[in-house]
Amino acid sequence: MRYLTIEEYQLASRFLFLSMAITVIQRDLAIIERGAGLKIKEPYLVLLKKMENEAMLERQQLRKYMYDQKLKVIPLERNDTFTAYLFICRNREEQRNYFNPAIRKKVEHILEELMLKSYLSEGSTVSS
């Protein structure tokens, strides 16, 4: 049964998957900064840092809006196949189970969005 509105669910799920994307970006930054066999790593670092900045700004806005709406996302349990999250909004609770490969696809889509947004943003250091 659905207890959250579509808007509440969309907001909370965007926050959830954006947070996961930030974790992926930060891990990738750490790997590239250590060397990881790349001959020229600066363009990757610039792009990843722009992506991280864009994601952090969006997540900050989402967090503020979620606080105003009294909306929370709490991880419950995880196994090899599914991960469960509890969405709470104004004393209404809804549990959602996500298929782990579906989570990966959602995070991948957000990473692609951030990559495109960062690449096309003003002041891009990429030159022809």
* Separation of alpha carbons 22 and 109, rounded Å: 13
pLDDT confidence of 4, banded at 50, 70, 90? confident
Residue 17 lies in a domain: yes
Q: Is the dihedral of CA 25, 26, 27, 32 positive or negative?
A: positive
pLDDT confidence of 123, banded at 50, 70, 90? low
pLDDT by residue (tens digit) across 34-74? Answer: 876 778 888 889 999 999 999 999 999 999 999 999 999 99
Residue 62 lies in a domain: yes
Q: Which domain holds residue 110?
A: 6-120
Residue 50 lies in a domain: yes
Residue 59 lies in a domain: yes
What's the structural domain count of the chain? 1
pLDDT at 112 over 90: yes
Query: Model pTM?
Result: 0.87
Residue 125 lies in a domain: no
pLDDT at 115 over 70: yes
